[in-house]
Amino acid sequence: LAKTTQPISMDSYEGQEVNITCSHNNIATNDYITWYQQFPSQGPRFIIQGYKTKVTNEVASLFIPADRKSSTLSLPRVSLSDTAVYYCLVVSYSSASKIIFGSGTRLSIRP
């Protein structure tokens, strides 16, 4: 299973765009890139998933370059409520039941 590396923490301010980059150099052909968000005292919550290029939903965008060895989660115009831990995962299509959470990126948003 591909291992992911992401910054331990990031700080930003309300209204800014935040980009969190994740490295997954050993990603395999069957692997999808998935991001989860975890607020304090809650379980992780799915944000977005992609295979290549760009994916956008109502919460975030996910940019994946052609080599797929990294990905960037983009949160537009963050607010205080976006303060959370963000996990980047690589999930294999054939064995999703064994997903591995890394240490995540602790994002702190300030007024």
Partner 1 sequence: DTAVSQTPKYLVTQMGNDKSIKCEQNLGHDTMYWYKQDSKKFLKIMFSYNNKELIINETVPNRFSPKSPDKAHLNLHINSLELGDSAVYFCASSQTWEGGPTDTQYFGPGTRLTVL
Q: What residues make contact with partner 1 under the rule CB under 8 A?
A: 30, 32, 34, 36, 41-46, 49, 85, 87, 91-101, 103-104
Q: Report the residue number, 13 or 93, with the smaller CB distance to partner 1.
A: 93
Q: Report the residue number, 14 or 96, with the smaller CB distance to partner 1.
A: 96
| Smallest separation (angstroms) from partner 1 to the CB of 38 | 8
| Smallest separation (angstroms) from partner 1 to the CB of 53 | 15
- The whole-angstrom separation of Cα 86 and Cα 98 is 19
- The whole-angstrom separation of Cα 33 and Cα 55 is 11
| Smallest separation (angstroms) from partner 1 to the CB of 27 | 14
Q: What is the DSSP string of 9-43?
A: EEEEETT--EEEEEE-TT--TTEEEEEEEE-TTS-
